[in-house]
Copies of this chain bind each other. A is one copy, B any other.
Amino acid sequence: MISKKMEGFVKNSSAIRAMFEEGQKMAAVYGKENVYDFSLGNPNVPAPPAVNESMISILRSDPAVMVHGYMNNAGYEDVRTAIAENLNERFGMHYDAECLIMTVGAAGGMNVIMKTLLNPGDEAVTFSPYFGEYRSYVGNYDGVLVESPVDGVTFQPDPDALAERITDRTRVLIINSPNNPTGVVYTEESIRAVAAVLEKKQQEFGHEIYIFSDEPYRELVYGDTAVPYIPKFYRNTIVGYSYSKSLSLPGERIGYVAMSRDIDDYENVYSAAKTANRILGFVNAPSLQQRAIAGCLGEKTDMGYYDRNRRTLYDALTADGFTCVHPDGAFYLWMKTPEPDEKAFCARAKEKRILVVGGSSFGCSGFVRIAYCVAYETITGSLPGFAELAREYGLC
């Protein structure tokens, strides 16, 4: 007998994760090299060597009692200071250690902030398509996730659609740019327009509406694409960050939330978030990882690797006749399915041993997400299957 609420969560459980586990089973049957698993955002680029070297050096040199011990629930103070200074330098912010809380990845940070902000029935708006786990992260605290569709062509936020969805119960807007699943980076123009809507609504309803900026893909952009730092455009912004993708450490669960001292009700929000971090059972972000990333703030992942995957896949699929959103960031390709029933398309793709996730998982049917953070051989190996699909659908 499990709780009624968990029954619902299990029923609506992650299709991405189900696909990932299915992919592992298929790999066991057909051989890993014959399964083209694009289901999960699990980086195939190894962590930069400096990250492992940083861990080894800490393990060799620093006192174990400190490295593996409890610290302030917000994280080591020197680590938070180092990150704050790095952000100040890069984005002209005025963060200090008391603006940051080290978290168990971005998912941990988002749960901490949702628990901090949401009363039952409070609304969290997000631009759709969106990472489907947001439904759980908001639902955990009995909040209501409200979807605000983006522009159907550019996949940029639609300020008018947003304005219609903000109510007196709206507590937070969740923004995710570079976006999972579309790979689109929201432009400065978009962010300014969104900020203007929120400023107006804050005045109209007489209470603050926070932005939670979920930024695990901030560093993953191609060419000279700029990712606006949202706190520069909207004061009441809380940033959630993760090193999962930028340093290829998704299993290690290390990230942070950052909030300026000038957000409304800063002291209560910070103090509550720190408490939430403790009582949700995180207690603190993993200690060795905190110390390791503090020494690797200048490290970058190999974007050339992802870029080759991106170009190869995008060029081949569009040449096949598929309609894809051109991705400027992250490592996802968002593709329109050639038949409206995405489930049918996913099933046909699976016959070619190609695993992709249906758009419904991201609140937007008629599309699939292709996570191209895979081995290059997975990309090239999958192309004949994609080409067959295109022919079967009469696209080419």
Residues of A within 8 A of B (CB): 1-7, 9-10, 13-14, 17, 20-21, 24, 40, 42-47, 51-52, 55-56, 59-60, 63-65, 67-73, 104-105, 107-112, 115-119, 122, 133, 136-137, 140-141, 171, 207-208, 248-253, 264-265, 268-269, 271-272, 275-276, 278-289
Contacts and interface: CB of A to CB of B under 8 A. Distances in A.
A110 B280 CA distance: 9
A182 B236 CA distance: 45
Contacts of A64: 46-47, 51-52, 248
B59 A287 contact: no
Contact of A279 (B7, B118, B137, B279): B137
B108 A9 contact: no
A249 B3 CA distance: 32
B140 A70 contact: no
Nearest to A286: B286
13 contacts: A3-B117, A3-B118, A3-B119, A9-B275, A10-B272, A13-B275, A43-B69, A47-B68, A68-B250, A104-B282, A137-B281, A140-B280, A251-B284
Given A1-B208, A116-B3, A282 B108 contact: yes
A14 B284 CA distance: 14
A196 to B, nearest CB: 22
A42 B1 CA distance: 36
B251 A286 contact: yes
The 10 A-B pairs at the shortest CB distance, nearest first, are namely: A251-B287, A111-B281, A136-B279, A46-B64, A107-B281, A108-B281, A6-B272, A42-B70, A2-B272, A286-B286
Contacts of A59: 52, 55-56
B281 A1 contact: no
Copies of the chain in the assembly: 2
A346 B70 CA distance: 23
A272 B10 CA distance: 6
Nearest to A254: B286
A235 to B, nearest CB: 15
A43 B93 CA distance: 37
B65 A43 contact: yes
A279 B141 contact: no
Given A68-B248, A248-B65, A2 B281 contact: no
Nearest to A72: B21
A314 B7 CA distance: 49
A63 B46 contact: yes
